[in-house]
Amino acid sequence: MLMGALATFTLVALMGVMMVLSMARGLPPDPYYPRLHALAALIGSGLVIADAVGGDERLYLNIGLAVVIIALGLVMAVTSKKGKKIPKAVLIAHAGLAVACYGILAFFTFNPQSTLI
């Protein structure tokens, strides 16, 4: 199940990069794109949660990070919906934590015998 979550989050990461590149060019992303990004992230999170409920306690770290990442994503969505510019600090925190969470998930996926400590 972790491989499926990692594949899903790979797509989520690519969508995030595409949105950032679009904004860097001065173009807003298509309106459906952030929603698709969020939906895919929720699907990946669901797979991680299912694995954690199944007994993989290592994934609690990913779940905790995901809560913060999702909260930052919601802040960006609400800010954007109001027509305001997304604060760079929020965007950088969202992306940075997402990269860290992805790296941890990849490590746990490819090293099934690893532990947190």
Predicted confidence (pLDDT) per residue in 69-115, tens digit: 999 999 999 998 898 988 999 999 999 999 999 999 999 999 999 98
Supply 88's token pair: 């760079």
Say how far apart CA 74 and CA 45 lie, in whole Å.
Answer: 15
Helix, strand, coil distribution of the chain in percent, nearest 5: 80, 0, 20
Select the more confidently predicted residue: 27 or 63: 63
Return the pLDDT at 105: 97
Structure tokens at 32: 């459906």
Helical pair 60-81 and 88-110, crossing angle rounded to 10 deg: 150
Residue 115 φ/ψ, nearest 5 degrees: -130, 170
Q: What's the pTM value of the predicted model, to 2 decimals?
A: 0.91
Please report, as a single letter, which amino acid is at residue 104. Answer: I
pLDDT in tens, 19-59: 999 988 988 888 899 999 999 999 999 999 999 999 999 99
- Joined together, the tokens standing for residue 21 give 């590149």
DSSP class of residue 82? T
Q: Does 117 have pLDDT greater than 80?
A: no
